[in-house]
Amino acid sequence: MHKGIFITIEGPDGSGKSTQVSHIKGFLEKKGYEVLLTREPGGTGIGEKIRQILLDKDHKEMSATTETLLYAASRAQHVEQVIVPALREGKAVLCDRFVDSSIAYQGKGRGLGPEAVTDINKFATQGLEPDITILLDIDPEVGLNRAKATKGADRLEQEKLDFHRRVYEGYRVLAYMYPDRIKVIDATKTVKEISEEIENKLSSVVRKG
Ligand code: TYD
């Protein structure tokens, strides 16, 4: 049991997560929370090194199993070193991607299957789950074009459109399976509209400011 709240934000590449993450941070601070903003893969010194291995364009030979375990390893370190201690201190932890990303990208995108990836991640997180997850919903093609236009493609973004369609499908299935936790937001709306919708969804888990 912990006193804080654990919020994750998910979505295909180019869904506009970064913009909304900073908005959510401000919203939570206004509500009186001390906010820890973090991301995956990464979030710790060890995790950032694992991130470099994962996103390196030269690592074309990386197997799907290795990829899955590296994401999970980064996550295990993150949970133990950063997330759980912050939650114990009563902070709001806002994490850019978490287990749902692995289920969508490795489970569906890479085809390892959601069950295996879920099991590996239960081990990695010791069963920690977000209190609420914001899923920014965008057509994979639109998202990819946005992502490429803003920062150039990393190893995962270079995957074919088919891969990203499977990732998207993975997210849709997750949203269907966990409607109480995962709140789907249409990411084609304006930044302001999206922020307002997110605030509405978060109202159910934040204390009154
Ligand atoms: P990043 O540059 O952080 O992408 P974004 O800004 O879209 O979040 O790169 C993270 C990449 O790693 C992204 O393509 C999604 C992928 N990923 C997985 O495949 N599995 C995972 O478990 C996580 C956390 C990310």
Ordered structural domains, the chain, with CATH: 5-202 (3.40.50.300)
* pLDDT at res. 149: 82
CB of 71 closer than 6 A to ligand 1? yes
117 Cβ neighbours under 8 A, 6+ residues apart: 68, 102, 103, 106, 107
d(CA 8, CA 19): 14
Distances (CA, A) of 140 to 50, 62, 144, 157, 168: 26, 23, 6, 11, 7
Per-residue tokens: 9: 């934000």
**Cβ–ligand 1 contact at 67 (below 6 Å):** no
Residue 27 Cβ inside 6 Å of ligand 1? The answer reads: no
As given in the structure block, the two tokens for residue 69 are 């375990």
Residue from 9, 13, 125, 161 whose mutation best tests the ligand 1 pocket (most atoms within 8 A of CB) = 13
CB atoms closer than 10 angstroms to residue 97: 22
10 in contact with ligand 1, CB cutoff 6 A: no
What is the CA angle 115-119-120, rounded to 5? 120
C-alpha to C-alpha distance for 188 and 143, rounded to whole angstroms? 10
DSSP 44-111: SHHHHHHHHHHH-TT-TT--HHHHHHHHHHHHHHHIIIIIHHHHHTTPEEEEES-HHHHIIIIIIIS-
Protein residue with least CA distance to atom 23, ligand 1: 101
Q: What is the pTM of this model?
A: 0.95
Identify the bridge partners of residue 6 per DSSP, sorted by sequence position. Answer: 93
What pLDDT is recorded for position 153? 75
Q: How far apart are CA 96 and CA 104, in angstroms?
A: 14
Tens-digit pLDDT string for the chain (209 aa): 568 999 999 999 889 999 999 999 999 999 999 999 999 999 999 999 999 999 999 999 999 999 999 999 999 999 999 999 999 999 999 999 999 999 999 999 999 999 999 999 999 999 999 999 999 999 999 998 888 888 777 877 777 889 999 999 999 999 999 999 999 999 999 999 999 999 999 998 997 66
